[in-house]
Amino acid sequence: QLQLQESGPGLVTPSQTLALTCAVSGGSITPGGHSYHWIRQPPGKGLEWIGNIFPSGTTFSNPSLKPRVSISIDASTNQFSLRLTSVTAADTALYFCARASGNFFPLSYWGQGILVIVSS
Amino acid sequence: DIVLTQSPGTLSLSPGESATLSCRASQTVSSNYLAWYQQKPGQAPRLVMHGASTRATDIPDRFSGSGSGTDFTLTITRLEPEDFALYYCQQYTKSPFTFGPGTKVDLK
């Protein structure tokens, strides 16, 4: 059974960089067809798609966040990562990682989420 | 971006009743790449429906999806206590893969 687990600091200082990692277990991250996503949910609000990456390294991101977002993948550790620069209080959210079976597939597997608070 | 609008915002129903949730897109969702997710408090979303009308693994047949183009519907018949939750639609036909604002199905 595929499992995803987010990790990273739960508190980030404004203007700094938020860095999260998603560990994938129960399956290899390298089969080329799958895509790996980041989604966030501000407290009490809806879901916002941040971006995704394929094992090839190809990435797509939400234009609303694109200048600040970087997504990477590490096949050797079976993990993928999110970096969000210049954070503000508006970036406070529950961050989820998820996997789709490929391009034009829904998000079938989700991590449990990690709450990141941006505050000094 | 494809903007998704969901209605109603909240549905107050009793167990055994039926729920009809609507998702409308600002432009055509090609190939009906439209999914529905269920989210309960403190949990990650769970895929319920994809391709507009295909139930995800382990989803009971009281859940059904329909629609095409810009108008989609998720219907839950004979509501069970575990069905009371938030439901989001998402299009995955065009990046950014946007979500709707959600419909809450709560207990009357």
Contacts of A64 in chain B (CB under 8 A): 96
The candidate with the shortest Cα–Cα distance to B105, out of B22, B32, B30, is: B22
Asked if the Cβ–Cβ distance from B99 to A110 is below 8 Å, we say: no
Asked if the Cβ–Cβ distance from B99 to A100 is below 8 Å, we say: no
pLDDT at A105: 94
Supply φ then ψ for residue B102, to 5 degrees. 100, 150
Lowest mean pLDDT among A46-50, A90-94, A99-103, B80-84: A99-103
| B100 lies within 8 A of chain A by CB | yes
Q: For residue A47, what are the β-bridge partners? A: none
pLDDT at A103: 82
pLDDT at B40 over 80: yes
Contact status, residue A29 vs residue A23, Cβ threshold 8 Å: no
Looking at residue B51, the DSSP 8-state letter turns out to be T
| B3 lies within 8 A of chain A by CB | no
Nearest to A106 among B47, B95, B100 (CB): B47
User: Strands across the sheet with B54-55, in order?
Assistant: B10-13, B103-107, B86-91, B34-39, B46-50, B54-55
Residue A36: pLDDT band with limits 50, 70, 90: very high
Distance CA A55, CA A61 (A): 15
pLDDT at B80: 98
pLDDT at B38 over 90: yes
Contact status, residue A110 vs residue A87, Cβ threshold 8 Å: no
Average pLDDT across chain A, whole number = 95
Contacts of A38 in chain B (CB under 8 A): none
Contacts of B45 in chain A (CB under 8 A): 47, 96, 107, 110
Q: Strands A59-61 and B34-39: what pairing?
A: unpaired
Size of interface A-B (CB pairs under 8 A): 58
Contacts of B35 in chain A (CB under 8 A): 106-107
State mean pLDDT over B78-107.
97
